[in-house]
Amino acid sequence: MKIEGIILAAGFSSRARTFKMALDFKGKTVIERSVDSMKSCCSKIYVISGYRREIIEEILKGYEDVDVVFNENFKEGMFSSVKAGIKKLRGDKFFLTPGDYPAVKEDTYKALLTLSKDVVIPTFKGKKGHPILMNTPVAREILSSDNYSNLKEFTISKGFSTVEVQDMGILRDIDTIQDYEDLLNLKY
């Protein structure tokens, strides 16, 4: 079975007031941490860029099996980046996560692979988080249908299974500088 990954990194980081993908997170950038935690489970990772794509390309240029894909429609929002990533997929299943979840543990990705379902979402203390794992053929329906305006609508319509993980990182994204500082100080 071929597993791939999509990391969404095209946004403006407007609430953070700085380009959060390039922030240092424990010795590497936020986007590097997101790639590193996913890569052991994936044959290929697509990092979907938009705003400040040249910075992401520079940061990730030394990574094998990681392609930075420019989403020319990134101003239309995150769902346009989801679609741009799905268009690149060639595998059976894929992980999808926003790039601003740098504290997700590698073991979380492995735990999601233990369920053979179309859509698998991790939970921590019952709360849903990221990454999600999806069957590629099911996700391709996003490209051929106008019925969905976001990923949440799609996952609800398809139904999903959950896996409880011991990883608070699945709930902790970086929207603001305060989120970033809190995450840096988090013991997990």
Domain boundaries, the chain: 3-185
Determine which helix (DSSP H) or strand (DSSP E) holds 32, and give its type and residue range.
Answer: helix 30-39
- Size of the chain in residues: 188
**166 has a pLDDT exceeding 70:** yes
pTM for the model stands at 0.93
8: exposed, middle or buried (C-beta count within 10 Å: 0-12, 13-18, 19+)?
A: buried
pLDDT at residue 188 above 70? Answer: no
Question: How far apart are alpha carbons 150 and 171 in whole angstroms?
Answer: 19
Q: Does the pLDDT of residue 160 top 70, yes or no?
A: yes
Band of residue 15 on the pLDDT scale cut at 50, 70, 90:
low
Q: Residue 175's pLDDT is what?
A: 87
75-86 pLDDT, tens digit per residue, is 988 899 999 999
- List pLDDT tens digits, range 141-157: 998 888 888 899 999 99
- What per-residue confidence (pLDDT) applies to 64? 93
Q: Does domain 3-185 have CATH number 3.90.550.10?
A: yes
Q: What percent of the chain has pLDDT over 70?
A: 96
In order, the DSSP letters of 42-99 are: -SEEEEEEBTBHHHHHHHHTT-TTEEEEE-TTGGG-HHHHHHHHHHH--SSEEEEEET
Q: What is the average pLDDT value for the chain, to the nearest integer?
A: 93
What DSSP designation does 116 have? Answer: -
